[in-house]
Amino acid sequence: MGAPRLSRRQFILGSGTALMAATARPRAARGQARRGQVIAGLSERMLTLDPANHYSISSTSVLRHVYDPLLDVTNDDKFVPALAESWKPINNTTWRFVLRRGVRFHDGTPFTADSVVFTLKRVRDNTKLIKSFVYQDIEDVRKDDDVTVTVTTKRPFGSLPAHLTMLGMLPPTTGANEDAFFTKPVGTGPFRFTSWTHGDHVELEANAGYWRASVPKVDKLTFRFIPELSTRAAALRAGEIHVIDRVWPDMVSTLKATPGIKVHDIPAVEAQRWHFQLAREAGKDPRVRKAVSLAIDRNTIIKELLLGYARPVVSPVPPGLIGHTNLGQKPYDPDRARTILKQAGHQNLTLDFVLMKDLYPKQLEIAQAVAAMLGDVGIKVNIRNLEIATAREQRTAGNYDLFFSGWAHMPHDPDWYFGQWFTRAGAEKMTRFNDPRVEQLIAEGRVPDPKVRQQKYEEIQKILWEDEPEIWPYYSVAIYAVSDKLRNFEARRDYYVLLHEVAIA
Amino acid sequence: MRRVARHPMIVVGGLILAAVIVASAAAPWLTRADPLRPSFAQRLRPPQGFGAVHPLGTDNLGRDILARVLHGGRLSLVLAATAVALAAGVGVAVGLSAGLIGGRLDDFVMRLADVQLAFPVIMLAIAIVAVIGTSAAALVGVLALSGWVLYARTVRAAVLTIRETDYVEAARTLGAGNLRLIGRHILPNTLAPILVLGSSQFATMVLLESGLSFLGLGLQPPQPSWGLMLAEGRDYLSNAWWLATVPGIAISLVVLGANLLGDGLRDVLDPRLRQ
Amino acid sequence: MRAYLLRRLWQSAVTLVGVSVLVFVILRVIPGDPAKMLLPEGAPQAAVEALNRHLGLREPLWIQYALFVRSVVRGDFGQSFQYRAPALRIVIERVPATIQLALTAMALTVLAGVPLGILAAVRQRTGWDYAGTVIAVLGQSLPNFWLGIMLVLLFGVTLRWLPTSGFGGWPSLVLPSVTLAAFPTALVARLTRSSLLEILGQEYIRTGRAKGLGEPRVVLRHALRNAMIPLLTVLGLQIGTLLGGAVITESIFAWPGMGKLVVDAIFFRDFPVVQTILILSATLFVVINLLVDLLYTILDPRIRYG
């Protein structure tokens, strides 16, 4: 036979590998090479490529791959530098940002303070933009030098950094022709924009020159928009996509039973809230509100209907956010509820419980369960599951007693929640809430000092906890399902699907 | 009449329908379980078979499915049947007039149909609900509105065909007025497609009701209509298939009965076969 | 005939105008505020008002309509509220997927439904007829979403023979078109059977048989032609429905079609997109129904329009 000889094929392969190793670029030697394509299935369609023109959690998450904001928020609720290396409040109405050096946009133009000035002034001045109203409190944005920006505000704006985590920075050249810019947008992010098919999918490719080393780890990224959960899950189970978001509790067992798939869950920065209409007969009376709260068995809802994928509420602001505190859990006491109702003279109460179609997992089921629980203490509930636009009109008109809603804290700051729902101006076309003490505290809580804010928010929540203008039945849990091929996936509390660090096996 | 009673399709179809109707009407006697009351400990129990506590299992709130499908039958049967009858009634009347009278009336009515066809049912539902609120009547109205054009156009086409035939001409020459023409000659010949369409439409109506109720434009939970049961069972198809399958089977039974009945009646009433 | 055609064309124009007015008015009259749908729940009322003004929704109704007509004439159907891009472009992007699905489903309907109906009629009261009945019942009563999800679970997840969702290539067309075609196939089969049975009994068919022509030719040539009329009516309406009403199938299969687009737009109160689609849809129905009416006269020369 003779000595073993390399087959022709082996020889060619061998030489090829040697050749590749010899000419390999230094970058590959630094760490794991970038390769592969990741496909994510998201539940919500992205509607625009303009970071200033939407208020959707899902779009924020997608656009975060193309644009960088000044700062990011981590999954344990800390604010960390992104395009800004540091930031601090100079006084109650002034913030100063120091920017990162050496960052370039995808088209090569350098990122400087001009970009920040442009982006902030644009969102404030163009009132057609959806985010504009948030930034109306900005007085001026001044460029101190290429890497320093000073922002002055009309009144204290302690939550400005939090809002800025959601605003991607744009190159100043955008202003020349916005429509053209947004057909092929350019940011500083880890991925470049390739294409977008409205309502179907968006494709991105890696930005080799990203300012953070070894990010990203994949060549291509595709986000598919698949609102139907069973379809999303089927695509994952069939190996067509690698990660899905917004999984409902009942789908978990099916996914776990599928080989090659892992399910991740984590308590979210979201509290469900069912708000009373405080101008109607039922909502006006604090005793009725108390009775309703006592009659709802929150633990059963969490355990039986949400299969444990929810957490009991101990304060309106969820854990991880400034202002979270522990006020104890609300009790379940139907007997006391009945007594209170009798004393208050409300024997034959009827409540209209309005839901917005399809918004929250199992909401129809939960509403029916609540209707049964309230029925047990003598309150009749009419469930009105309406399509979203009609439901909102009914809310504005005040045509409801209890309204099924939730609040995911986006940005990671409760100031907006309080400002919208618990000030007179904010609540006037909604719940009609009006409490001067709370209003005062909210204004005082807007200062940048975190210790002051924590104290003010605790006081506010003590008042609300006692007054119960809303029912907070549970904190939501975010559930994701991921293919085993995907490495480094982090299940986020804010429902973002961020794929900067993931690699494909 | 004898022929009707002896035709196998009519007998079988009629029996099936009768069985479903009677079972739904007799729901409170056939099962003690409460179709409305949730029972969290009993959620999503699979069907246990004849004689068990939950023969057809329980749903996502622990309610007995057999009870819900029987009680729900009353609601769905009445709603869907009324809607079909209304759609057919209006559609046939319109189609007859358009075909017989022709000319401007035909044009106007058919263009009206074209206008309506352009509007998705959901939009019509939202508009109607906005005006008169959600109720069974609004729901029936929307359902009927979605269905009449099919009858109108089919009947009109049939009338156009028959209008010029010899025996109709002959009848006219003999002095038969329009009503007599309709009753004697035209209607019996258009009966076949009407029966087929009507018996097909029942299922469509229930499914449409399902979609609308789920969107908040029809019935509200916790009413156990078949449509709502289908809608709520949709999320559980991969892990609790019986939630949606049981009402689906109920609907199939009614469709089967209606189809057999419709086809059988068509066979019997076909004037040409009568000779 | 020429006079008839001209009359129909004129009426089509009137119909379209009527639809545009009706859509316009209905959208602005039903409850639901587009600005509220765009802005987050926590937006202040002032922002809502400002956005409504920007979108031109605070002008008097007739001014809004006049502006709309003026831009439509130039080919501009307005900016989609949702996507902030030209509404016409958003709608046209959906055309390829929609047409592929509708045509495939229609082809399946005819290719499966008509032969099934013929078989049932020709072999009336035998096993074939009853089997046909069972298939027809299943086709009519199986909910769209049930069939779709089951097919996906079987062929997509378990067997992995076909893609579970999405638009791209022939394999992804199979499951959605089968799902969409189920009901129309059943209906077409039943109608074919019923129409054929009627004709098969007619005098002149009997005469044809007597002349010694083979039975298949008798059936195909005379009977089918006349049975086509009710069939054509239904098919004409189904095409329209398939194009605009496939929303459930499109949702299950993440199919980027117009059915889902129009329903989403209605829920979102995206007026320009709804207006665009409905006007195009009305045009389509008008054209289809005109063609069907003309085809009637070809299939049955006795039909005349007065």
Per DSSP, the three-state class of A487 is: strand
Instruction: Give CA torsion, residues A313, A315, A318, A324, to 10 deg.
Output: -150
Q: Do C229 and B158 touch (CB under 8 A)?
A: yes
Answer yes or no: is pLDDT of A25 > 50.
no
**By the 8 A CB rule, do A427 and C41 touch?**
no
Q: What mean pLDDT is predicted for residues C93-98?
A: 92
Q: Do C36 and A389 touch (CB under 8 A)?
A: yes
Ranked by mean pLDDT, which of A75-79, A239-243, B35-39 comes out on top? A239-243
Q: What mean pLDDT is predicted for residues C24-37?
A: 91
Q: What mean pLDDT is predicted for residues A381-403?
A: 92
Q: What mean pLDDT is predicted for residues C59-82?
A: 92
Answer yes or no: is pLDDT of A33 > 90.
no
Q: What mean pLDDT is predicted for residues C145-166?
A: 92
Distance CA A148, CA A152 (A): 13
Interface test with B, best of A231, A351, A365 (most B CBs within 10 A): A365
First to last CA, chain B: 15
Residue B171: per-residue pLDDT: 67
Per DSSP, the three-state class of A357 is: coil
Q: Do B237 and C146 touch (CB under 8 A)?
A: yes
Q: Do C195 and B193 touch (CB under 8 A)?
A: yes
Distance CA A71, CA A1 (A): 68
**By the 8 A CB rule, do C172 and C163 touch?**
yes
A346 — phi, psi (to 5°)?
-105, 85
Answer yes or no: is pLDDT of A183 > 50.
yes
Mean pLDDT across chain A, nearest whole number?
Answer: 91
- Chains near C with 3+ CB pairs less than 8 A apart are A, B
A192 strand-pairing partners: A205
Distance CA B185, CA B191 (A): 11
Q: What mean pLDDT is predicted for residues C187-198?
A: 84
The band of B175, judged by pLDDT with boundaries at 50, 70 and 90, is low
Q: Do B203 and C141 touch (CB under 8 A)?
A: yes
Q: What mean pLDDT is predicted for residues A111-123?
A: 97
- Indicate the range of A232-241, B94-103, C33-42, C217-226 predicted with least confidence: C217-226
Residue A26: per-residue pLDDT: 42
Say whether the peptide bond before residue A89 is cis (omega within 30 degrees of 0).
no
Question: What is the number of other CB atoms lying within 10 angstroms of the CB of residue A408?
Answer: 17
DSSP string of A268-311, one letter each residue:
EEEEEEEEE-TTSHHHH-HHHHHHHHHH--HHHIIIIISTT-EE
Answer yes or no: is pLDDT of C172 > 90.
yes
Q: Do B127 and C289 touch (CB under 8 A)?
A: no
* Nearest by CB: B222 against A254, A300, A371: A371
A76: Cα separation from own chain's centroid: 14
Residue A13: per-residue pLDDT: 47
Residue C4: per-residue pLDDT: 83
Residue-wise pLDDT tens digits, A137-153: 999 999 999 999 999 99
Residue A233: per-residue pLDDT: 95
Ranked by mean pLDDT, which of A312-321, A422-431, C209-218 comes out on top? A312-321
Could you tell me which of C284, C188, C270 has the C-alpha nearest to residue C239? C284
Residue A432: per-residue pLDDT: 93
Distance CA C99, CA C243 (A): 7
- Indicate the range of A302-306, B1-5, B229-233 predicted with least confidence: B1-5
On whether ipTM exceeds 0.90, the answer is no
Amino acid, single-letter form, for residue C70: R
Tokens of A448: 């940048």
Q: Which residue of B has its CA nearest to C135?
A: B256
Residue A31: per-residue pLDDT: 46
The band of A2, judged by pLDDT with boundaries at 50, 70 and 90, is very low
Helix axes C258-268, C224-244, angle to 10 degrees: 40
Answer yes or no: is pLDDT of B223 > 80.
yes
- Indicate the range of A14-23, A250-259, A490-499, C1-10 predicted with least confidence: A14-23
Residue B182: per-residue pLDDT: 65
Answer yes or no: is pLDDT of A22 > 80.
no
Residue A202: per-residue pLDDT: 97
Distance CA C5, CA C9 (A): 6
Q: Do A228 and C254 touch (CB under 8 A)?
A: yes
Answer yes or no: is pLDDT of B249 > 60.
yes
The band of C43, judged by pLDDT with boundaries at 50, 70 and 90, is confident
Task: Give the burial string for A105-123 (b: 16+ CB within 10 Å, else e).
Answer: bbeeeebbbbbbbbbbebb
Interface A:B, Cβ pairs < 8 A: 62
Question: What is the number of other CB atoms lying within 10 angstroms of the CB of residue A373?
Answer: 22
Answer yes or no: is pLDDT of A431 > 50.
yes
More confident residue, C212 or A16: C212
Contacts of B37 (CB under 8 A, 6+ apart): A372, B63
Q: Do B238 and A371 touch (CB under 8 A)?
A: no
Contacts of A384 (CB under 8 A, 6+ apart): A352, A353, A354, A355, A391, A394, A400, B134, B216, B220
Residue A91: per-residue pLDDT: 92
List the 228-267 stretch of B: residues with Cβ below 8 A of C. Answer: 230, 234, 237-238, 244-245, 248, 251-252, 254-256, 259-260, 263, 266-267
Chain A residue numbers with beta carbons less than 8 Å from the beta carbon of B232 are 364-365
Interface test with A, best of C41, C95, C167, C264 (most A CBs within 10 A): C41
Contacts of A52 (CB under 8 A, 6+ apart): A119, A122, A123, A126, A129, A130, A131, A132, A167, A170
Q: What mean pLDDT is predicted for residues A328-355?
A: 93
Residue C60: per-residue pLDDT: 92
Distance CA A262, CA A255 (A): 7
Residue-wise pLDDT tens digits, A242-285: 999 999 999 999 999 999 999 999 999 999 999 999 999 999 99
H helices of A382-483, in order, are: 388-397, 415-421, 424-427, 436-444, 450-467
* Nearest by CB: C266 against B123, B164, B272: B123
Answer yes or no: is pLDDT of A458 > 80.
yes
Q: Do C51 and A388 touch (CB under 8 A)?
A: no
More confident residue, C290 or C52: C52
Answer yes or no: is pLDDT of B58 > 70.
yes
Instruction: Give CA torsion, residues A430, A435, A436, A437, to 10 deg.
Output: -130
Could you tell me which of C123, C114, C257, C270 has the C-alpha nearest to residue C192? C114
Residue B272: per-residue pLDDT: 52
